[in-house]
Amino acid sequence: MSMTKHTNPAVRIRLGTRNSPLAMAQAYETRDRLCAAHGWAEDEVELVPVMASGDKVLDRPLAEIGGKALWTKELDVWLVEGRIDVAVHSAKDVETIRPDAFVFGAVLPRADRRDCLIGAAGIAEIPEGAVVGTSAPRRAAQLLWQRPDCKVVTFRGNVATRLAKLEAGEADVTFLAAAGLERLGQAHVGVPIDETMWRPAAAQGVIALECRAGDSATRDALAAIDHSETHAELRAERLLLEALGGTCHSPVAATCHYVDGTMVLDASLFSPDGQERVDGEAHFKPGENDEVLALARDLLSRSSPAITEHFRGA
């Protein structure tokens, strides 16, 4: 199944994962789905944790220290070397352009795609002049679009770290992904924000399983747990990001839904200071790329330089 021999002959597949609590929870979910689909015992799926570079530096925004590649580069090396068969990713943390040597062999059913607000009952209820902790350009810009009175400060770390920072008074409120809280058994924390009021990140709530393109045995094993609707949503959202030329510095929100068999992709571009915003949507059948590419062109054509300078597709 892999380029190197498993040290334990009972192991059928090895899942590489970051070793944060949330990443491990996602790996456990993946293992459970593989075991259920194939009738395997738990010890036939090995979890191989790695400390990702993005988990080591927490005092600066991700975009300043290398971007999303800091979440994937160690797992990429292990995949290439054959030390793991699959890398388990939060899809929103995976760079838009990936090496041709890798493919998403499966995508799990999407969890809640919304953001949760921690520290206030809603955006309007955030105290006047509040300090808001976030390192995400999308969250910062979207907040300042609605609440220009607030001050944004950098807030990084895993869920527990950010909640501890909030408790310590480093900020008044913050945002966390609802899916992450749910997977950690903390669905009671915070208030989910309706998507019509607050647009989520592309790929939010999606677990993507990446493997070597030429590893047919692993691809066959993963195919049994692939959720086709979520996979199609992920392709559309990532294609939009690619067409926009978005980076870790780009304040962009995008989410795709099925509506009566048609896919509807909603997207928003912001200036980092939240002063400007452009919205758009596309309707198309799964696998049709032209409408997604047209949406990217339309959004950029209606954006001022304050927005377009943060997108390479402009």
- Just list the catalytic residues: 93
Helix (H, G, I), strand (E, B) or coil at 46: strand
The angle that helices 216-223 and 21-38 make with each other, rounded to 10 degrees, is 90
Within 10 Å of residue 245's Cβ, how many Cβ atoms?
A: 16
Q: Select from 40, 16, 2, 20 the least CA-distant residue to 225.
A: 40
Token output for 285: 């059948």
The residues with which 174 forms a beta bridge, in sequence order, are: 118, 133
Helical spans, DSSP H, in the chain = 21-38, 62-65, 69-81, 137-146, 159-167, 178-183, 216-223, 228-244, 290-301, 305-308
* Helix (H), strand (E) counts: the chain: 10, 13
Q: How far apart are CA 219 and CA 197, in angstroms?
A: 38
Residue pair 259/285 in contact (Cβ under 8 Å)? The answer is no
- By CB neighbour count within 10 A (0-12 exposed, 13-18 middle, 19+ buried), where does 45 fall? buried
Q: Is 293 helix (H, G, I), strand (E, B) or coil?
A: helix
Closest listed residue to residue 45, CA positions, set 88, 84, 2, 11 = 11
Residues written for the chain: 314
Pairwise CA distance, residues 62 & 102, whole Å: 23
SS3 assignment, position 259: strand
Residue 41 to residue 228: CA distance in whole angstroms: 25
